Amino acid sequence: MTQRISLDDLTSDDLDQLYTRAERAEQEAGATATAAAHLTTLVGKRAEKAERSAEKQCRRAKSAETELHVLRSGLRANGADPTQIQNLWAQIRLRNRQWRETKQRAEQAEAAIERVRAILADPLLHTTDPERQGERYLARQIRAALDQAQQPTTTEAGQ
């Protein structure tokens, strides 16, 4: 703790130092108050923005719930069962996915057939070269063409 100087012993230098310290303390207090006010403003703005966003989400959710209720009520009024319609929609999505997978497999099979046709059309197949003759050679070539993991080479221009 700082020892107090009696008023009678106070010099002008001591008084100047006290005034200087008081001015610095006032400046620091002012800067702290300004920073606190700025921080409060920022926090307030962010809180307001978050509240607006939350309110917007609540309005959207309420709107969606209302639309769903109206839709279900309309379906029921027309003799339909909303649950049955949801199940039908799920089945349609499943069938569409299965159709896409089957179509992809068919395209891959068509590409493999095209590769086999290319082997059979090869003029070197009918050569007198013993390495290229025989059923074993042909079977190896066809098996390699069928096992080849290649994307279909056909274009969809004809579709």
Domain ranges of the chain: 10-80, 83-159
Name the band, by pLDDT with cuts 50, 70 and 90, for residue 135.
Answer: low
Give the integer Cα–Cα distance in Å for 15 and 9. Answer: 11
Q: Which is more confidently placed, 150 or 64?
A: 64
Q: Indicate if the alpha-carbon torsion angle 126, 129, 135, 139 is positive or negative.
A: negative
The yes-or-no verdict on residue 155 having pLDDT over 80 is: no
Name the band, by pLDDT with cuts 50, 70 and 90, for residue 127.
Answer: low
Cα-only R_g, the chain? 43
Instruction: Show Cβ contacts of residue 125 under 8 Å, excluding neighbours closer than 6 positions.
Output: 119, 132, 138
pTM metric for this prediction? 0.40
State the SS3 of the chain: CCCCCCHHHCCHHHHHHHHHHHHHHHHHHHHHHHHHHHHHHHHHHHHHHHHHHHHHHHHHHHHHHHHHHHHHHHHHHCCCCHHHHHHHHHHHHHHHHHHHHHHHHHHHHHHHHHHHHHHHCCHHHHCCCHHHCCHHHHHHHHHHHHHCCCCCCCCCCCC
**Percentage of the chain exceeding pLDDT 70:** 82
Region 70-82: what's the mean pLDDT? 85
Q: Output the average pLDDT for the chain.
A: 82
Region 4-24: what's the mean pLDDT? 83
Q: Which is more confidently placed, 136 or 81?
A: 81
Q: Which is more confidently placed, 109 or 151?
A: 109
Region 110-126: what's the mean pLDDT? 78
**Percentage of the chain exceeding pLDDT 90:** 26
Give the integer Cα–Cα distance in Å for 5 and 15. Answer: 10
The yes-or-no verdict on residue 1 having pLDDT over 50 is: yes
